[in-house]
Structure 1
Amino acid sequence: MTVETKMTFTAADIMLHFPENWTEDYDYYYEDNGTDTCCVGELCPQYHSMRFDAVFIPVLYSVVLILGLLGNGLVIAVLGQLRQGWSVTDTFVLHLAVADTLLLLTLPFWAAQASSQWHFGTFWCKITGALYQINFYCGIFLLVCISLDRYLSIVHAVQMYSRKKPWLVQTSCLCVWCFCLVLSIPDWIFLEALKDERRDERVECMHNYRLYGNHTKEWRLASRLLYHLVGFLLPSAILVFCYSSILLRLHRGTQGLQKQRAIRVILALVVAFFVSWTPYNVVLMVDTLFNRDLIIDTCATRTTLDISLVVTSSLGYMHCCLNPVLYAFVGVKFRRHLAKMLKFLGCRLKGQVRAGSRRSSVWSESGNTSTSGF
């Protein structure tokens, strides 16, 4: 790829919500205003963030990968044993576990890039990047589906799904996957394995928005707005509305033990989502303002922003490890069948899980929740 003599690369413009500090090339260079070490036409190097990435990313991604695969693997295994008696929530949780697992499987590629460079070529850059994108969005939208189902069942006593129509739940999940596939189209088009001048001529998997004209900033802004609106703000608004309404509905009724437990779980769901993804989205919004020249940009602030993006995005990946705990391990029937599996494998448990409930999660079946029956 050829570039003009005055063209440089921005510092670690993390594409959308992809891991690490991926860069996207466009016309931009620092002016000598007396407040930065970079001069006109010179690159702002990333030596500090590169050293940080080479240590932090491989270590953390390895931990997240092991914990996430273990948790989601157990969810898939247990639900596979329960396939004859799946509830609506079980179906969504299964798809959620699959999406989280596929997302986690992309982490070794980003860890290898951080420790060295991208060794897998443009083809695998597109495959891996799009796979990450699809499963990231899918995980969020499946959480939204679970929230809407619980909201309609508990607050309005409306059965959007039922056991008599299992195809309807599967159709909803299929629509989510197809919609996420559509959202990944820009990644199939623009992702390439390219050399980054600011990162010591390393080959990295990044968006090349200069493929179709000189509207690089416009393409980048459109992709950022798509992520901010569809990937975070809209799902966040739905989650807050649904769970707030559910909490109000539960609070007005009698405060039984199951209801108190359900309220704690609901609060845990909301807190886990926002603690995991809000810091990254805030930093990403600041990065968007930097790229639009709305905030004074220097090499020092860019380095700080690069490292902040890596740290906060890594925190977001921890949500893949929390999902199995929040959506499955708290379920009585899930724990009971997990105990049976462990006993079958020869593991002795200190305590036995009571088998007195037919619920497969903290949520009761759709259609049985019109009176807040958790």
Structure 2
Amino acid sequence: MVVDTKIIFTDMESLFSSANWSDYDNYSYYESDTCCVGAVCTQHSSMQFEAVFIPVLYSVVLVLGLLGNGLVLAVLGQLRQGWSVTDTFILHLAVADTLLLLTLPFWAAQATNEWSFGTPLCKMTGALFQINFYCGIFLLACISLDRYLSIVHAVQMYSRKKPWLVQTSCLCVWILCLLLSFPDWVFLQAVKDERRGGRVECVHNYLLYYKSTEDWRLASRLLYHVVGFLLPSAIMVFCYSCILLRLHRGTQGLKKQRAIRVILALVVAFFVSWTPYNVALMVDTLHDREAIKDTCDTRSALDISLAVTSTLGYAHCCLNPVLYAFVGIKFRRHLAKMLKSLGCQLKGQVRPGSRRSSVWSESGNTSTSGF
């Protein structure tokens, strides 16, 4: 299933009974060698749940996400000469979401049967998941910081005369996200798990560095929680709190509130989609650190909760285009114009929007960056 929901440990008795440590990869792997008072916990209930839940939900998310993000990319493609700063960030968000969506068939196939695509593809698809997560929240943080400086301090971080600057920022975000996915490129492997019926699955194998197994695992979790969620989230909460306070006191509050409504909706959607997964992952980390009593029931409940909440996170990929369509008036105008040019008959008259404002905003230029 999702690449960070399975933490694997080796059968200690078998490992220490072997005289040849270099052959440890031939042994079976378990998530816990202490569960249920020495007995190995099976995962039949969670496996049955995943075999039905994941393929169905992932199929829905894949279809809706590709259609929605395809429309976003098509609208932006027609207006590439008039992009604002926000439009550029939205373009990169759509690309990141599309890349994640393309990995869903692999995870659905694993849930139905097992991982039969080998370790190299396991590393690639798992890393794409992490890159998309980091890229999504970092781009939203960049947008919120740009709005904060422009509205609260009247400072123009980006300029239409220097389009390379925003492209450079996006490139830096992608490079940073690639670096943060380092644990996935190193530790993800297709391995056999006896707890799950002897199936081969794409999971993190921290036993590659056996003496520091717990250190590597805890470090990767902390990196994910702090750098990938808590820190960017704090930036967004601070920026938008200051923006709303400024708009409440300003003379053009209503107009500017409409201008940032799309981005606020995107931020709220991100938190609703990804916060449950991060909470479940934090509980799983505490469980593995023995802060929570280790039983087969708690292990099974955590596996199911991680499956459900991670699917909610994936659904975020198809939620953004819906927000664009229903919140951004200019996006609807440009989409209607594009459909009309393809021969679709539309009810009502569509007035052309300003090319100088973002296609996601409802009003004209309300700040120096053109959103």
Structure 2 distance, partners of 1:15, 1:178, is: 21
- Which secondary structure does the structure 2 equivalent of 1:213 belong to? helix
Quote the offset at 1:236 in angstroms.
Answer: 0.9
1:362 aligns with 2:346: no
8 Å Cα contact 1:268-1:326 kept in structure 2? yes
Quote the offset at 1:253 in angstroms.
Answer: 1.8
CA offsets 1:186-221 (integer angstroms, 9 cap, x no match):
211111110011100000011111112322111111
Q: How does 1:4-83 map to 2 (within 5 A)?
A: 15-16=3-4, 21-26=5-10, 28-30=32-34, 38-40=36-38, 42-83=39-80
8 Å Cα contact 2:122-2:189 kept in structure 1? yes
CA offsets 1:2-26 (integer angstroms, 9 cap, x no match):
xxxxxxxxxx9x654xxxx434225
Structure 2 vs 1, CA of residues 163 and 266 (structure 1 numbering), >3 Å: closer, same or farther? closer
8 Å Cα contact 2:72-2:321 kept in structure 1? yes
Q: Which of 230, 242, 245 is matched with 1:245 structurally?
A: 242
CA offsets 1:309-338 (integer angstroms, 9 cap, x no match):
111111111211122233566333322221
Structure 2 vs 1, CA of residues 263 and 126 (structure 1 numbering), >3 Å: closer, same or farther? closer
Structure 2 distance, partners of 1:129, 1:336, is: 37
Q: How does 1:1-374 map to 2 (within 5 A)?
A: 15-16=3-4, 21-26=5-10, 28-30=32-34, 38-40=36-38, 42-254=39-251, 257-262=254-259, 264-265=261-262, 267-327=264-324, 330-358=327-355, 359-360=357-358, 361-362=360-361, 368-369=366-367
Structure 2 distance, partners of 1:256, 1:186, is: 45
Structure 2 distance, partners of 1:364, 1:226, is: 39
Structure 2 vs 1, CA of residues 328 and 147 (structure 1 numbering), >3 Å: closer, same or farther? farther
8 Å Cα contact 1:335-1:353 kept in structure 2? no
Quote the offset at 1:256 in angstroms.
Answer: 6.0
8 Å Cα contact 2:274-2:313 kept in structure 1? yes
8 Å Cα contact 1:15-1:206 kept in structure 2? yes
Quote the offset at 1:102 in angstroms.
Answer: 0.2
8 Å Cα contact 1:364-1:373 kept in structure 2? no
Structure 2 distance, partners of 1:194, 1:291, is: 20
- Which secondary structure does the structure 2 equivalent of 1:297 belong to? coil
Between stretches 277-286 and 317-326, larger displacement belongs to 317-326
Between stretches 312-321 and 46-55, larger displacement belongs to 312-321
Quick one: which amino acid aligns to residue 187 of structure 1? D
Q: TM-score, normalised by structure 1?
A: 0.87
- Between Structure 1 and Structure 2, how many residues are aligned? 349
Q: TM-score, normalised by structure 2?
A: 0.88
Structure 1 distance, partners of 2:313, 2:297, is: 25
Quick one: which amino acid aligns to residue 222 of structure 1? A
> Which ranges of structure 1 fall in alignment gaps of 5 or more residues?
1-11, 32-37
Structure 2 distance, partners of 1:254, 1:269, is: 25
Percent of residue pairs bearing the same amino acid type: 77
Query: What do you get for the CA RMSD once the two structures are aligned?
Result: 2.3
Structure 2 vs 1, CA of residues 162 and 363 (structure 1 numbering), >3 Å: closer, same or farther? farther
CA offsets 1:30-70 (integer angstroms, 9 cap, x no match):
26xxxxxx342x21100000000000000001111111111
CA offsets 1:71-114 (integer angstroms, 9 cap, x no match):
11111111011111111011110011000000111111000000
- Which secondary structure does the structure 2 equivalent of 1:326 belong to? helix
Structure 2 vs 1, CA of residues 103 and 356 (structure 1 numbering), >3 Å: closer, same or farther? closer
Structure 2 vs 1, CA of residues 313 and 68 (structure 1 numbering), >3 Å: closer, same or farther? same
8 Å Cα contact 1:148-1:242 kept in structure 2? yes
> Which ranges of structure 2 fall in alignment gaps of 5 or more residues?
13-31
Structure 1 distance, partners of 2:266, 2:319, is: 9
Quote the offset at 1:365 in angstroms.
Answer: 8.0
Structure 2 vs 1, CA of residues 308 and 132 (structure 1 numbering), >3 Å: closer, same or farther? same
Structure 2 distance, partners of 1:164, 1:263, is: 23
Quote the offset at 1:357 in angstroms.
Answer: 3.8
Task: Kindly indicate which of the two structures has a greater share of residues assigned to helix.
Answer: 2
CA offsets 1:323-365 (integer angstroms, 9 cap, x no match):
2233566333322221121112221112333335442222778
- Aligned position for 2:26: none
